[in-house]
Amino acid sequence: MKWNVLYLFWLLAVLGLFWIYRHITAMSMSHFFGSTEAEEMKLRSDIDAYIAEIRVIPGQEVKAGDTILIFHLPERERKKSELMQAMDYTGKDEEIRIKILEEEKKALVAEYNVKIQELKTRLDEINNSKDVQDALKKSLAPGHSAGKPSLLEIESDGLKEMIAQLQSEKNKRIASLDHQISQKAQSSHSTLNLSRTELDYLKGQDAQLYLRSQVDGFASELKLRVGDYIRSGTDLMEIIPLRPSKVKGFLPESSEVDPVVGTKVQLSSLARGSVSDTGVIRYVYPNITELPVRLRKIPELRSWGRELYISLDAGNPFLIGEKLRIDLLN
């Protein structure tokens, strides 16, 4: 009787082990486990600069876009100041030079106008005298034909020629001054444009002076002080995200599923049954490694599988380090 019981016991044990194996196999084909992870955001400077201001303290919560550090570049500030001073000097200097030329033009016009007006006045007097003389000749000698030009006519023609010459000379000198004024204006405009372009470029680079957080999270310790000089590429601080960014999972080697990169999966919290979300498989390692105890379906049994990573949306509901059940979606 004892032997029969022993045989029965062994039979039940074998059946139990077989059932456990089949159950594990079936479970491996339907789902597996993983835990959430967060990649700390390392903040680095893109330039060699001095720290001008630190706006956070270790452990402070920050939002994406918050300013963490402000840098100072004395050389860049000096260059900007020099450019602004040069632009101000150039503008004022050229403005003075143009005003001088414009005043010279006004004086020139006034001078020629006086000379021309004097000649025109004399011409009017001669023409009046000539008209009187012609009228007198007609009254004394009716029908007398015109002979040689009189002295008045000769003088009148000479005055007209002088007026024309002065007007031509005036126009030429005015044109020369207008050209100089135009050249000065163009030169000033070109110089100012070059300085303004360089200044705008430097101001555009000022964005590098502000180091901002890329994610919501908590600031780690910063072993620097205001006034310290730092090199480009130096790690300055880490921002620990509020939410995980990925899931590290292990697909048991007994699973016949061959997940493809880009496949969507259903993620469910094991500790908080109502919390779930979806993710996308981003990488599947080809080698087999031993599963961590926490991610084994039966912790007491050593098991192996393939490691894979699943990306999460920024607004996912999970906690960092939370254990999740992973189900492949058809």
Distances (CA, A) of 180 to 58, 92, 138, 185, 288: 64, 17, 56, 9, 83
Tell me, yes or no, whether 49 lies in a domain: yes
Separation between Cα atoms, residue 227 and residue 224, nearest integer Å: 9
> How does DSSP assign 142-183, residue by residue?
TTPPP-SPPHHHHHHHHHHHHHHHHHHHHHHHHHHHHHHHHH
Looking at the structure of the chain, the number of domains it has is 3
Q: Are residues 31 and 49 in the same domain?
A: no
Tell me, yes or no, whether 2 lies in a domain: no
Q: Are residues 258 and 229 in the same domain?
A: no
Q: Are residues 82 and 197 in the same domain?
A: yes
Q: How many CB atoms lie within 10 A of CB 308?
A: 22
The H or E element spanning position 288 is strand 276-290
Q: Are residues 226 and 330 in the same domain?
A: no
Using DSSP, state whether 12 is helix, strand or coil: helix
Tell me, yes or no, whether 270 lies in a domain: yes
Q: Which domain holds residue 296?
A: 23-38+243-330
Q: Are residues 255 and 313 in the same domain?
A: yes
**Vertex 99 angle, CA 94 and 101, to 5°:** 95
Tell me, yes or no, whether 9 lies in a domain: no
Q: Are residues 254 and 306 in the same domain?
A: yes
pLDDT (tens place) for every residue of the chain, 330 residues total: 445 556 566 666 666 655 555 555 444 446 789 999 988 888 888 889 999 999 999 889 999 899 999 999 999 889 988 888 888 887 777 778 888 888 888 988 898 888 888 888 888 888 888 777 777 767 766 655 555 667 777 888 888 888 889 898 889 988 888 888 888 777 777 888 888 888 888 888 888 899 999 888 999 888 888 999 999 988 888 998 888 999 999 988 888 778 889 999 999 999 998 999 999 999 999 899 999 999 887 888 888 999 999 999 988 999 999 999 999 876
Tell me, yes or no, whether 221 lies in a domain: yes
User: 20-53 b/e with 16+ CB inside 10 Å = b?
Assistant: eeeebeeebeebbbbbbbbeebebebeeebebee
pLDDT of residue 248: 96
Separation between Cα atoms, residue 213 and residue 314, nearest integer Å: 15
Please list the alpha-helical segments (H only) found in 240-304. none
pTM, rounded to two decimals? 0.53
Q: Are residues 111 and 223 in the same domain?
A: no
How far, in whole angstroms, is CA 300 from its chain's centroid? 56
Backbone angles phi, psi at 44, to 5 degrees: -130, 155
pLDDT of residue 279: 95
Q: Are residues 225 and 287 in the same domain?
A: no
Tell me, yes or no, whether 224 lies in a domain: yes
Tell me, yes or no, whether 15 lies in a domain: no
Tell me, yes or no, whether 165 lies in a domain: yes
Structure tokens at 214: 């890329």
Q: Are residues 304 and 251 in the same domain?
A: yes
Structure tokens at 221: 């310790």
